[in-house]
Amino acid sequence: MNTKGITLTRHILLEQRAHPSETGDLSTLLAQIGLATKMIARAVSRAGLVDVLGVTGAVNVHGEEVKRLDEYANQTFIHVFGHSGLVCTLVSEEMEKPRHLSENCSQGKYLLFFDPIDGSSNIDVNGTIGTIFSIHHRINGDPHGTEKEWLRPGSEQVAAGYVIYGPSTVFVYTAGNGVYGFTLDPSIGEFLLSHENIRIPARGKTYSINEGNYPAWQPPMRSLMDYLKEKDPETGRPYSLRYVGALVADFHRTLLQGGIFLYPVDTRNPQGKLRLLYEAAPLAFIAEQAGGRAGTGTERILDIRPTGLHQRVPLLIGSPEDVALAEAFCAGRKKRDRERRKQP
Ligand code: AHM
Ligand code: MG
């Protein structure tokens, strides 16, 4: 059946009928994320006209300045889910501690992890930004939740997704049965199916990384970047560099066109920069569902058992062959292979 053009809500209901292990609650929850992100998209589209540009003056748990739009988007999620009855706990990049929505905890079955505005440094220059989310089941009835409940590996996610606020607003999600994308039609205020069953190409032609950090990387990462820039048409090199500086935007391009996004460890970020629970894990779930791969260089992202809510990890994500190549460099293998080939 051609379902192109159907609404997000209808798509979720059809999916649920085909895979009935979840109740209608997950559909409602995803639809509510759709509502929250439509509200954020409206603020983003009028950012220069309404009072959402600039900083609040506060500093978040990561030591970063909180932008007004970060605060607005975070509050929007809290308002939308405050009376939903579905989500007991919210964990956000903008909140040091989990936020319990106690009125929901008697029946709310889910935990929601989110980065309300990803790519905040793009806000004031009308650059692309996004929202990322990850949904887990609660595992016990404790009304206040426990660390054990929050610190779960990405492999246990029920659903995950992101919204990209670019020239158009696009909602991409997986509930473990493929990856689907919906474009917001602002004239009717609905997300409509535009990208059916997204599959990532096996390899791409671009790499995406903050090259300004080159001197601060470890030697294998520098070697990988040198290798990708060498001319060798047989292996599709040199690769082109693309870097928006908003993970959602760089990942979305990589998902649709192939290639690799990397945020490795460096001397300033010895654990990596990106956060596991609401940045790396949800995108890793989407990447794998689309046939891609996501790791730290030595470990699969979805296997990591978190030790802290705002834990950071190195992230290598994208086309399976490109990520495998990067992992070979991290393990010191590729360099040796190359040197061997060059010997007479
Ligand atoms: P944010 O969620 O606070 O905006 O930070 C995460 C962002 C990612 O979107 C992006 O990939 C990365 O940080 C860019 O970092 P850098 O400016 O160091 O290249
Ligand atoms: Mg972010």
One DSSP character per residue, 114-183 reads EEEEESGGGGGGT--EEEEEEEEE--S--TT--HHHHS--GGG-SEEEEEEESSSEEEEEESSS-EEEEE
| Residue 120 near ligand 1, beta carbon < 6 Å | yes
The angle at the Cα of 50, spanning 47 to 54, to the nearest 5 degrees, equals 65
With CA atoms as reference, report the closest residue to 52 among 62, 42, 60, 61.
Answer: 42
Whether the pLDDT of residue 293 is over 60: the answer is yes
Q: Which atom of ligand 1 is nearest to the CA of 122?
A: 4
pLDDT(46) > 90: no
Mean pLDDT over the full length of the chain? 91
Q: What are φ and ψ of residue 341, in 5° steps?
A: -60, -35
Cα distance between residue 214 and residue 210, in whole Å: 8
Least confident of 62-71, 160-169, 214-223: 62-71
Confidence label for 1 from pLDDT (cuts 50, 70 and 90): low
CA of 1 to the centre of ligand 2 (A): 36
Tell me the CA–centroid distance for residue 284 and ligand 1, in Å: 16
- Predicted pLDDT at 343: 45
335, burial (CB in 10 Å: exposed 0-12, middle 13-18, buried 19+): middle
Q: Which residue has the tokens 């997950």?
A: 26
Q: Residue 293 is which amino acid? A: R
Atom of ligand 1 nearest to the CA of 118: 2
Q: What confidence score (pLDDT) does residue 335 get?
A: 58
pLDDT of 49 reads: 76
What's the average model confidence in pLDDT over 68-94? 92
Q: Using CA atoms, how far apart are residues 36 and 79, in angstroms rounded to an integer?
A: 9
Name the residue at shortest CA distance from atom 17 of ligand 1: 245
In angstroms, the CA 76 to CA 143 distance is 23
Residue 340's pLDDT band, with cuts at 50, 70 and 90, is: very low
Q: Centre a 10 Å sphere on the Cβ of residue 51 and count the other Cβ atoms it contains.
A: 9
Q: What is the 15 CA–ligand 1 centroid distance (Å)? A: 33
Strands (E), the chain: 55-59, 65-67, 87-92, 99-100, 110-118, 129-137, 159-165, 169-174, 179-185, 190-195, 206-208, 240-241, 260-263, 274-275, 293-295, 312-313, 315-318
Which of 91, 93, 118, 316 should be mutated for ligand 1, with most atoms under 8 A from CB?
Answer: 118
Query: Which of 154, 263, 168 minimizes the C-alpha distance to 208?
Result: 263
- Residue 336 pLDDT class (50, 70, 90 cuts): low
Distance of CA 179 to the CA centre of its chain: 13
Is the pLDDT score of 144 beyond 70? Answer: no
pLDDT band at 4 (very low <50, low <70, confident <90, very high): confident
Q: What is the pLDDT of residue 270?
A: 96
Cα of 248 to ligand 1 centre, how many Å? 9
Hey, whose CA ends up nearest to atom 5 of ligand 1? 119
Secondary structure (3-state) at 275: strand
**Closest listed ligand to the CA of 208:** 1
Q: Are 69 and 53 in contact (CB under 8 A)?
A: yes
Q: Is 210 exposed, middle or buried (0-12, 13-18, 19+ CB in 10 A)?
A: middle
Q: Look at residues 260, 261, 293, 287 and name the one whose alpha carbon lies nearest to residue 274.
A: 261
> Over 70: is that where the pLDDT of 143 sits?
no
Q: What is the pTM of this model?
A: 0.94
- For range 206-213, the mean pLDDT: 98
Angle, nearest 10°, between helix axes 333-342 and 320-330? 90
Tell how far the Cα of 120 is from the centroid of ligand 1, in angstroms. 7
CA angle at 282 for the pair 145 and 144, rounded to the nearest 5°? 5
Is residue 94 within 6 Å of ligand 1 at its C-beta? no
In which residue are the tokens 């996610």 written?
157
Q: Is the CB of 64 under 6 A from ligand 1?
A: yes
Q: Is 247 in the pocket of ligand 1 (CB under 6 A)?
A: yes
Alpha carbon of 6 to ligand 1 centroid (Å): 33
Residue 212 alpha carbon, nearest atom of ligand 1: 19
| For residue 344, pLDDT beyond 60 | no
- What are the φ and ψ backbone dihedral angles of 85, each rounded to 5 degrees? 75, 0
